[in-house]
Amino acid sequence: MATSDVHVRLCEQEILKYDLEIKALIQDITECNGPQSKLTEINTDVKKHFHNLRLRIQDFERMAMEQDRESDKQALLSQVEGHRKQMLSNQTAWRKANLASKLSMDKMEKQTLLNGADGDVRKRKMTKEGLAQSASDITENLMSISRMMAQQVQQSEDSITTLATSSRTIQETNEEFKAMTGTIQLGRKLITKYNRRELTDKLLIFLALALFFATVLYILKKRLFPFL
């Protein structure tokens, strides 16, 4: 049957989808209590959905007119008429929702103004005792701030003292390092001197041994070979 055509069913599904989305947006408008920018944003979405819905209904009507059998055509045209009536009903509900939302926002704005006026009256009726208590609280706050500042000053002084002590300790340590450096350098010089002395002693021992062996050889020569 032509009514089971895939394109027809897809078009009808899109019409139903737009119809449900429009109803949801209308409910959002009904519950909207402001601000005006939010209401305007929702109405913009509703207009877009109505435009798309109108186009899909026109497509559905065109598909109905293209049906071969008269019975299928009339059945689809009947559905088109039902979708258009539903769209008109949604438009009416849309206008009512906007009216209700604007009335609600106006009521809330008036209530805000009245609450502000009542607040001003209550402020003007503040008693002298209240003013005195406020002055007392301010004085106490100032004294508390003063104590906190004194504590901060004392902490700063303690920090400066600690830094000065640390600086002296570092300076004394530096002096000790300098003294140790001098001692190490002196030790290095002594070690170098002792190394040189050791080298001189070895050289003298070598020369003494050489002289000793030369003397021994000379004596042996005279005893063994006197004719030479």
Does any domain span residue 40? yes
Q: What is the pLDDT of residues 189-223, one digit of tens each?
A: 878 887 788 888 888 888 988 898 889 888 887 78
Residue-range definition of the domain harbouring residue 25: 1-111
Quick count: other Cβ atoms within 10 Å of Cβ 2?
Answer: 16
The domain spanning residue 52 has which CATH number? 1.20.58.400
Name the DSSP letter for residue 227.
T
Average pLDDT over residues 61-65: 92
Residue of 1, 62, 51 lying closest to 21 (CA atoms): 51
Residue that is written with structure tokens 């300076």 in the block: 171
Rounded to two decimals, the pTM is 0.47
Does any domain span residue 197? no
Does any domain span residue 13? yes
Q: How many domains does the chain have?
A: 1
Q: What is the pLDDT of residues 106-136, one digit of tens each?
A: 888 888 788 765 555 455 555 666 566 766 6
